[in-house]
Amino acid sequence: MPTSSAHAPTAFFPSPETMEVLITKEQLAKRTREIGAQISTDYEGQSIVLIGVLKGAAIFLSDLARAIKVDNTFDFVAVSSYGRARVSSGAVKLIKDIDNPIEGRHVILIEDILDTGLTLNYLRGLMLQHKPASLKIATCLDKPDRRLVPIEADYVAFKIPNQFVVGYGMDYAERYRGVEDIRIFPDEAVH
């Protein structure tokens, strides 16, 4: 029997309990409900399309969707990720496009983190080519200090300093997405 697995926790992938909590699951639940209520007011009587950016935004989208009281449908896009690198190469590539047309629809793009802004800037341009009736952006986290392109989200759950975080959908090398709180990934664990 093998005694270790490629997916087992290692020194490079510290256990989540050892990481400092930045935002608790209770804070996340409260802010998600507040943003859901705000969106429900802003789009009252309308139908909206929620487009999540895979994979990081999946958990935020699922919580947000349950807090949104107006008629809504889901779609997802996927873009090239950082992989194990914590800094973006700057090049964003579409891996999965939307499944259904959004022309004439009210669209909210849903992201886990607005960091340099390159991803959302690229996706916003792409979505606008489909001629939606309107396009807004909702992000769970915003790191305004890191911005390389001028883009702001319409709905922001939390502004955070320039720290690398994991949990609530957000990963480091695909790990930690299922961690319930948002935690600070330690610098010394980066490789």
Residues that bind ligand IMP (CB under 6 A): 56, 82, 88, 111-119, 164-166, 170-171
Rounded least distance, CB 171 to ligand IMP, Å: 6
- The 3-state DSSP class for residue 105 equals coil
Active site includes 115?
A: yes
Q: Which is nearer to ligand IMP, 75 or 171 (CB)?
A: 171
Catalytic pick among 112, 115, 171, 181? 115
Across the chain, how many H-helices and E-strands are there? 3, 9
Q: Which is nearer to ligand IMP, 58 or 67 (CB)?
A: 58
Integer Cα distance of 116 and 144 in angstroms: 8
Tell me the two tokens of residue 123. 């996706």
Tell me the two tokens of residue 133. 């009736």
Rounded least distance, CB 188 to ligand IMP, Å: 16
Q: Which is nearer to ligand IMP, 43 or 79 (CB)?
A: 79
Rounded least distance, CB 145 to ligand IMP, Å: 12
**Contact indicator for 142, 112 with CB cutoff of 8 Å:** no
The closest alpha carbon to 10, from 181, 153, 177, 172, belongs to: 172
Q: Which are the catalytic amino acids?
A: 115
